[in-house]
Structures are given as structure tokens and as C-alpha cells.
Amino acid sequence: MKRFVNGEAVEFEACDAQVIQTPDRLIVKTADGAHSAAAVRVGDTVHVSYRGHTYLVEKATRPRGAGAGGSGELRAPMPGLIVDVLLAPGTQVSKGDKILVLEAMKTQQPFLAPFDGVLTEVKTSKGEQVAEGALLAVVKAEEA
């Protein structure tokens, strides 16, 4: 099954993962153990928060470039509370650095730098309630 994940075309394959739906989250069991995930559908896009990453999953039929993948924008996949802001604008970041943490559906979801670069904007603060789709932070890619 072909989909776009964060703006890039990927082919999903069958695997040995088991997904269990609970009232407020998903439990994903793999050979590595069990981890919780949250998934929210917004129109034709599904926002998935899993193991510290947020993924935007779209049908493969959408036009190339229509998503925000690679833009460096970190957006709230669902309404929630900002429980921590760890870095300030102007900070040099490496891919995977934790920038802030959103709590939604009883689950804390860290937002990580999508690539090496500079954190140019932080549009939220600790204790702030944010709406679904709210721009939380922006990372500008490092120039090669």
C-alpha cells in the first residue's frame, strides 16, 4: 500500500506488529516491545504520534509537494497542553533533538528536530493550551 509520510512516498509492507486500539490510544506490539501511539484523522490526512515522532500520513493520490513534509514546521496533531519547551529560538539543533513536549489524550508527545538546522521560531510556551494544527515551532534546515 503506497502512502505519503511527511511528504515522501513510501510503500507499506505487512509486518509482525500487532496494533491494539484502546479508548484513548493505540498500543503497538513488536519484537522490540510495546509502545503507545496516538492517531488523529484530519480530512484525508492522519496525524500519528509514535515513539517521539509525529508523522503525517496521506493517500498516495495527492499531488506531490502538497504536504508540509520537509518544511521544518512542527504542528500540533491534536489539541493539547504544552508541558515543556526545552530549546529557544536561535538554537542549533541536530536531527532528533527534543524541542518541546505536548500532552494530549493522557500521552506526552515529544516534538523532535526533523533534520539538522536552526530552531528559528517557538510559537508556544510551557502551560499553553494549543489547538489542533497550531504551529508550535519552526526548524530551518542547515545549509550544505
Q: Please, which residues have CB within 8 angstroms of residue 47's CB and are 6 or more apart in sequence?
A: 39, 40, 41, 54, 55, 56, 57, 77, 78
Q: What is the pLDDT of residues 41-63, one digit of tens each?
A: 877 788 888 888 888 888 765 44
The most confident of the ranges 19-33, 94-108, 115-129 is: 115-129
Predicted confidence at residue 65, as pLDDT, reads: 34
Residue 117 has pLDDT above 90, yes or no: yes
Q: Is the pTM of this model over 0.75?
A: no
Q: Mean pLDDT of all residues in the chain?
A: 85
- Which regions of the chain carry the CATH code 2.40.50.100? 73-141
Q: Which fold has domain 73-141?
A: OB fold (Dihydrolipoamide Acetyltransferase, E2P) (2.40.50)
